[in-house]
Amino acid sequence: MIMSTSKKKVLLSGMQPSGALHLGNYEGALRNWVELQNTGKYDMFNCIVDWHALTSGFESTEMLVPRIYEMAADYIAAGLDPDKTAIFVQSHVKEHAELHLLLSMITPIPWLERVPSYKEKVESLGLDSYGFLGYPLLQAADIIVYRADVVPVGKDQLPHLELTREVVRRFHYLYGEVFPEPEALVTKFQVLPGTDGQKMSKSYGNFIALGDSPDIVKTKVMSMFTDPAKIHKTDLGHPADCPVHIYRTIYDSSLPADLADKCSAGDPSVGCVGCKKALLAALVEYFKDFRERRMVLLSDKAQLDEHLKRGAERARERAAETLRLVRSAMRMFKPEI
């Protein structure tokens, strides 16, 4: 049983089950979550936000359940421990929805419309649903329903968290203090390019998934973008801009210290094909244990269900306490029920 303690700060994080987790997700979030868990400083809630996945994927829900299982397996295989961290599915904790509804009554629409990602996605994806407009507010509810003290985020997510803080201040002005104002735990992480040199994205299909088999990894690595200016081995290279070299600096423990210098100088002993083969070997070895743990987890859905059930029980306990405080502060009918 996971024991909660008031001596620790409460931390909330989550990801959408919108497809296979890839190296960018690992470096940008998952690796950091595991490190934060292992410090022992936080009472951690790590959510699989399935309601959020519906804001853009509402027309095709047949893969939602399989992706939830895959994400749960990825979380645990990467090192999140269900005995230390509450791992759960958002829709299993109905208090998220209730708090979102209550917050929607006090949040001005212009606050939601000014969130940068809303404007971008309305233009690029044509999304204009009520649920998509309210996405940042549901995200706020996800955070403050646990009275989270900290939220690990990248710089691009700071506007979402600032909206949460504004909503908290407005609630406190109207009804009195209930929540802490969550602080951003801005994390430094390696931003990985996609295999084609663009931003890594599922929509671009330029990612290497954490659960990819060695054969699939081979296909992706050997077709990776390198350096268009380096056609021959003796051409001057630009390793800082080469995805293969960037990946090797992270995952290849045997990377020669002088490789970048040799590549830049056009040393004929350094070639792109050789670098790809070295990266392939490094990736297969680096994620070997992860893949084995992931396969075991996905072969036993009952065990995954148990992990998610225990996580949801702990999450509901914390969230239910928050909603009792909220109903009381708002002077609603019989808030103790």
Q: Is 93 helix (H, G, I), strand (E, B) or coil?
A: coil
Statement to judge: residues 69 and 180 lie in one domain: yes
The reply to whether 101 and 148 lie within a common domain is yes
Judgement on whether residues 47 and 18 belong to the same structural domain of the protein: yes
Residues 72 and 186 in one domain: yes
- Residues 9-23, mean pLDDT to the nearest whole number: 93
Q: Is the pLDDT of residue 307 over 50?
A: yes
- Same domain, residue pair 59 and 174: yes
The answer to the question of residue 4 being in a domain is no
* Annotated catalytic residue, options 199, 288, 301, 309: 199
- Does one domain contain both 281 and 304? no
Is there a single domain that holds both residue 150 and residue 89? yes
Q: What's CA 118's distance to the chain center, in Å?
A: 18
Cα–Cα dist 114/284, whole Å: 43
Instruction: Please check the confidence at residue 5 and state whether its pLDDT lies above 50.
Output: no
Q: Is residue 334 among the annotated active site residues?
A: no
pLDDT in tens, 228-281: 888 888 888 899 999 999 999 999 999 999 999 999 998 888 889 999 999 999
pLDDT for 114: 87
Give catalytic status of residue 202 as yes or no.
yes
pLDDT reported for residue 293: 97
Question: What percent of the residues of the chain are helix, what percent strand, and what percent coil, each to the nearest 5?
Answer: 55, 10, 35
The DSSP letter of residue 190 is: P
Q: Considering the domain boundaries, does residue 79 fall inside one?
A: yes
Q: Do 23 and 134 sit in the same domain of this protein?
A: yes
Share of the chain above pLDDT 70, in %: 93
- 178 and 232 in a single domain? The answer is no
Specify if 204 maps to a domain: no
Check residue 126 and give its pLDDT: 65
Quote the pTM value.
0.91
Q: Is residue 208 part of a domain?
A: no
Confidence of residue 56 (pLDDT cuts 50, 70, 90): confident
Answer yes or no: is 202 within a domain: no
pLDDT of 189 above 80: no
Residue with the bigger pLDDT between 315 and 159: it is: 315
Residue 18 clears pLDDT 70, i.e. is over it: yes
Percent of the chain at pLDDT > 90 equals 74
- Which entry of 202, 233, 262, 277 is annotated as an active-site residue? 202
CATH number at residue 226: 1.10.240.10
Residue 224 located in a structural domain:
yes
Contact, 298 vs 292, CB < 8 A? Answer: no
What lies within 8 Å, CB to CB, of 278 at 6+ separation is 248, 252, 254, 255
- Residue 276, Cα to own-chain centre: how many angstroms? 27
- Look at residue 171 and tell me whether its pLDDT is greater than 80: yes
Q: Which residue has the higher pLDDT, 80 or 205?
A: 80
For residue 3, what pLDDT is reported? 41
The catalytic residue among 9, 121, 233, 277 is: 121
Residue 120 has pLDDT above 60, yes or no: yes
Q: Could you tell me if 133 and 112 are in contact, meaning their C-beta atoms sit under 8 angstroms apart?
A: yes
Mean pLDDT, the chain, integer? 91
User: Quick one: 323 and 272 in the same domain?
Assistant: no
DSSP string, 171-185: HHHHH---S--PEEE
Q: What pLDDT, in 10s, does the model give residues 191-225? A: 789 999 898 888 788 999 999 999 999 999 999 99
Identify the domain containing residue 309 by its residue range: 9-191+300-329
- For residue 119 the two structure tokens come to 């404007």
Does residue 291 lie within any of the structural domains? no
One domain, residues 184 and 274 = no
Q: Is the pLDDT assigned to residue 147 strictly greater than 60?
A: yes
Do residues 313 and 263 share a domain? Answer: no
CATH number of the domain that residue 28 is part of: 3.40.50.620
Return the structure tokens found at 253. Answer: 């423990």
Q: Is residue 295 part of a domain?
A: no
> Is 70 exceeded by the pLDDT of residue 124?
no
Q: Is 301 a catalytic residue?
A: no
Q: How many domains does the chain have?
A: 2
Check pLDDT > 50 for residue 1.
no
Whole-number pLDDT of residue 47? 97
Beta strands (DSSP E) in the chain are: 9-15, 42-48, 85-89, 150-153, 183-186
